[in-house]
Amino acid sequence: MSENYRSILLQREGAVEAGGVDAGVAAHYGAPTREARRLFRGEAIADLSHFDVLEISGADRQSWLDTLSSQRINSLAPGASTQALLLSVQGRIEHEMKVLVGAERLLLIVEPGRGAALEEFLNSMRFMLRVEVKNLSATHGVLAATREIPTAGQLVWQDPWPGVSAGGWAYSREDHPGAERPWFLHIVQLEELEQAAGEEQLAGMMAVEALRIAAWEPRFGAEIDDKTIPHELDWLRTSVHLSKGCYKGQETIARVHNIGHPPRRIVLLDLDGSMHTLPAEGSEIKLGERTVGRVTSAALHFEEGPIALGVIKRNVDPGEVLSVVDGDSVYPAAQQVIVATDAGQVAGRFTGFLRTPPGA
């Protein structure tokens, strides 16, 4: 999406524009906490029209993306939704894609501003295959809700989170809070955005983020840095197929999952509500005087109060109360474990060697 993009829905009463990567759409429409409650209950929709959309067409589209990404795509039927990652040789996350399978094309939803880089990479990998990559971000965007929006058409991606997709693996508990927040992304033409929104109540990005954080769902560009591997974020659930064929980064995926542990883990932090503020993204998470991680996202939730996601060192005791330090402000923070401290090492480690019995 263009840096100068401004959604037509910013003309709605009370709209206050978001900043940073979410500039161009509303942070809120005057009551962010109330908007989050309505969004959660299915009584409002959210404008994510600044998200980028790509199209892949051609006879080889599914098999080609299957070979490049961490997810099994080749066998998906039209209408299916999935999530996929493109990784470095070291298994670090370079791109995240929400994939909607159409009858004659694939549609990819990616974070704002990420479409051009993804398009460039995909085009560099076309070779002689029958595929065509097209960036639709100038003409298409997204509307989101916890239900399907009747006026937004039939191009709907359904979030697999927090289910465990075929070939996936869960690093967190079974009673996952994300199950309370289904999530649907509707791909619409920008010239029809206002019509697609219809008379629905609107919720801003502050509401969207509050629900996402409470659902423990990572966001590319927030919980990701240049060293992040999928295991650290519990993304083996929905974005990695552990038994599919070769793709870049597969060796790290298998090695960490089978015989190692992720070096860091995502955690939800229940913040001290007496501060009446939220820590900035990037604030240090400390155990005593030792820095053990950083805050990646923070929000005020309509039920849980101030909460945050952070990425911390794996071996931090889950029972420890941590501190989030933002300048002169210090927020006591209790942990809710997302990725277990013993995640990985599924295959165990060898403790001995088979020996041939004497005389055999």
Grouping H, G, I as helix, E, B as strand and the rest as coil, residue 107 is strand
Q: Are residues 210 and 273 in the same domain?
A: no
The verdict on residue 251 lying in a domain is no
pLDDT of 357 over the 70 cut: no
Query: What confidence category does residue 246 fall into, taking pLDDT thresholds of 50, 70 and 90?
Result: confident
Q: Are residues 201 and 97 in the same domain?
A: yes
The verdict on residue 42 lying in a domain is yes
The verdict on residue 248 lying in a domain is no
Q: Are residues 207 and 309 in the same domain?
A: no
- What pLDDT, on a 0 to 100 scale, did the predictor assign at position 273? 87
pLDDT of 22 over the 80 cut: yes
- What pLDDT, on a 0 to 100 scale, did the predictor assign at position 351? 44
Give the residue among 268, 51, 310, 25 at the shortest CA–CA distance from 162: 268
- What pLDDT, on a 0 to 100 scale, did the predictor assign at position 3? 77
25 contacts 186 by C-beta, under 8 angstroms: no
Average pLDDT over residues 139-155: 97
Domain that holds residue 84: 8-214
Task: Provide the residue type at 132 as one letter.
Answer: E
Q: Are residues 130 and 202 in the same domain?
A: yes
Q: Are residues 324 and 189 in the same domain?
A: no
Average pLDDT over residues 283-301: 98
pLDDT, tens digit, 9 for 90 and up, residues 302-353? 999 999 999 999 999 999 999 999 999 999 999 999 999 999 999 864 444 4
Q: How far apart are CA 89 and CA 49, in angstroms?
A: 32
Place of tokens 């979030």: 159
pLDDT over 70 percentage in the chain: 96
Could you tell me if residue 153 is left (phi over 0), alpha (psi between -120 and 50 degrees) or otherwise beta? left
- What pLDDT, on a 0 to 100 scale, did the predictor assign at position 307? 98
- What pLDDT, on a 0 to 100 scale, did the predictor assign at position 275? 83
The verdict on residue 229 lying in a domain is no
85 contacts 165 by C-beta, under 8 angstroms: no
Q: Are residues 101 and 36 in the same domain?
A: yes
Average pLDDT over residues 77-105: 98
Query: What confidence category does residue 358 fall into, taking pLDDT thresholds of 50, 70 and 90?
Result: very low
Average pLDDT over residues 136-164: 97
Query: What confidence category does residue 174 fall into, taking pLDDT thresholds of 50, 70 and 90?
Result: confident
- What pLDDT, on a 0 to 100 scale, did the predictor assign at position 348? 65
Crossing angle of helices 205-214 and 32-41, rounded to 10°: 60
Q: How far apart are CA 61 and CA 244, in angstroms?
A: 17
- What pLDDT, on a 0 to 100 scale, did the predictor assign at position 1? 74
Q: Are residues 205 and 280 in the same domain?
A: no
Q: How far apart are CA 103 and CA 78, in angstroms?
A: 5
Phi, psi (deg, nearest 5) at residue 311 = -115, 120
- What pLDDT, on a 0 to 100 scale, did the predictor assign at position 156? 98
**pTM, entire model:** 0.95
The verdict on residue 232 lying in a domain is no
Q: How many separate domains does the chain show?
A: 2
The verdict on residue 127 lying in a domain is yes
Cβ neighbours, 10 Å, residue 250: 17
Average pLDDT over residues 167-172: 96
The verdict on residue 89 lying in a domain is yes
Q: Are residues 69 and 208 in the same domain?
A: yes
Phi, psi (deg, nearest 5) at residue 255 = -65, -50
285 contacts 294 by C-beta, under 8 angstroms: yes
Provide, for the chain, the percentages of residues in helix, strand and coil under a 3-state DSSP scheme, each rounded to the nearest 5. 20, 30, 50
Task: Provide the residue type at 98 as one letter.
Answer: K
Task: Provide the residue type at 244 as one letter.
Answer: K
The CATH number of residue 331's host domain is 2.40.30.110
pLDDT, tens digit, 9 for 90 and up, residues 2-12? 778 999 999 99
Place of tokens 């298998």: 254
Q: Are residues 16 and 148 in the same domain?
A: yes
Average pLDDT over residues 199-221: 98
pLDDT of 38 over the 90 cut: yes
